[in-house]
Chain A
Amino acid sequence: GENVEQHPSTLSVQEGDSAVIKCTYSDSASNYFPWYKQELGKGPQLIIDIRSNVGEKKDQRIAVTLNKTAKHFSLHITETQPEDSAVYFCAASDRLNDYKLSFGAGTTVTVRA
């Protein structure tokens, strides 16, 4: 099955600075890569996703880049704010079934005021 590795496991940034989280995946046939944000005591919430026919996607302060050749994708958060503090998970779809997601282990992001 798909294997997703995520780095770093923790990230502390000053408010206003950028945060970058990187993930690698093992199955070159994967074609759907969502990112989730999970706050304490809550379920994961989709914040952005990208498909394999696109190299980059932006939504306000959040962007995701995908490099299919290298099998890695990254989340970029610019102008970080205290409410960005949470655990972020990347995921990749199964080669045959888009619904079946394999998640990374998560990155705990802390934004210092």
Chain B
Amino acid sequence: GAGVSQSPRYKVAKRGQDVALRCDPISGHVSLFWYQQALGQGPEFLTYFQNEAQLDKSGLPSDRFFAERPEGSVSTLKIQRTQQEDSAVYLCASSSPGEPSYEQYFGPGTRLTVT
């Protein structure tokens, strides 16, 4: 079946531009996560949705980062006034919560380069 998809796969932005990254989770998955992965590092948690509710945004690095999931399916991560330090791969994951595990299925990521 279809996995998590993300678009665009690559994005180049000039410093100061706004960007929007899209995530299509696995159909029926209630939970959705965004992570930021810097080069040579592990993913870092940004935010978590359960359906349309954003239950945890503790990992968002600044108020320039905003995520939404208005209908409980597709999600968009928006970064305003991009800075060079925002350059990273942005990963989306989805899961269907239930015991005993919270297996998260990751998409291929969007590589953002800010010049």
Which residues of A line the B interface, CB within 8 A?
Answer: 4, 6, 32, 34, 36, 41-46, 49, 51, 89, 91, 93, 97-106
Whether B100 sits at the interface, judged by CB under 8 Å, is: yes
**What are the residues of chain A within 8 A of B108 when measuring CB–CB?**
41-43
Query: Is B40 a contact partner of A105 (Cβ separation < 8 A)?
Result: yes
**What are the residues of chain A within 8 A of B42 when measuring CB–CB?**
4, 6, 89, 91, 103-106
Can you name 9 extra interface pairs (CB under 8 A) apart from A6-B42, A99-B102?
A32-B102, A34-B104, A43-B4, A43-B106, A43-B107, A44-B106, A49-B101, A51-B101, A99-B31
Question: When the two chains form the complex, which single residue of B40, B45, B101 contacts A100, counting CB atoms closer than 8 Å?
Answer: B45
Specify the main secondary structure of chain A where it touches its partner. strand
Query: Is B91 a contact partner of A99 (Cβ separation < 8 A)?
Result: no
Query: Is B48 a contact partner of A103 (Cβ separation < 8 A)?
Result: no
Question: When the two chains form the complex, which single residue of A32, A41, A44, A98 contacts B91, counting CB atoms closer than 8 Å?
Answer: A44
Query: Is B41 a contact partner of A51 (Cβ separation < 8 A)?
Result: no
Min Cβ gap B107→A in Å is: 5
Nearest 10 A/B pairs, CB to CB: A103-B42, A43-B106, A44-B106, A89-B42, A98-B102, A99-B102, A43-B108, A43-B107, A103-B43, A46-B103
Whether B44 sits at the interface, judged by CB under 8 Å, is: yes
**What are the residues of chain A within 8 A of B106 when measuring CB–CB?**
36, 43-45
